[in-house]
Amino acid sequence: MEEGITILEAIKREFACKEVDIRTYSPLTLAYIGDAIYDLVIRTIVVERGNTSPNKLHKKTVKYVSAVVQAKLVDGLWEELTQEEQEICRRGRNAKSYTTAKNASVMEYRKATGLEALCGYLYLQGRQERLLCLIKKAIEGLGMEI
* 39 included as an active-site residue: no
In the chain, what percentage of residues exceed pLDDT 70?
98
User: Given this model, what pLDDT does residue 2 score?
Assistant: 66
Domain of 129 in residue numbering reads as: 26-141
Coil, helix or strand at residue 125: coil
For the segment 121-131, the average pLDDT, to the nearest whole number, is 96
User: Given this model, what pLDDT does residue 41 score?
Assistant: 96
Tell me, what CATH number does 122's domain have? Answer: 1.10.1520.10
**How sure is the predictor about 137, in pLDDT bands with cuts at 50, 70 and 90?**
very high
Phi-psi region of 105 (alpha: psi -120 to 50; beta: other; left: phi over 0): beta
pLDDT in tens, 80-104: 999 999 999 999 999 988 777 788 9
How many domains does the structure of the chain reveal?
1
The C-alpha atoms of residue 70 and residue 108 are separated, in whole angstroms, by 8
Please identify which of the residues 21, 35, 39, 75 carries the catalytic annotation: 35
**How sure is the predictor about 143, in pLDDT bands with cuts at 50, 70 and 90?**
confident
- The answer to the question of residue 130 being in a domain is yes
Q: Is the dihedral of CA 143, 127, 45, 38 positive or negative?
A: positive
Coil, helix or strand at residue 57: helix
For the segment 140-145, the average pLDDT, to the nearest whole number, is 83
Q: Alpha carbon of 106 to those of 28, 67, 77: distances in Å?
A: 16, 10, 20
Its pTM stands at 0.93
- The answer to the question of residue 8 being in a domain is no
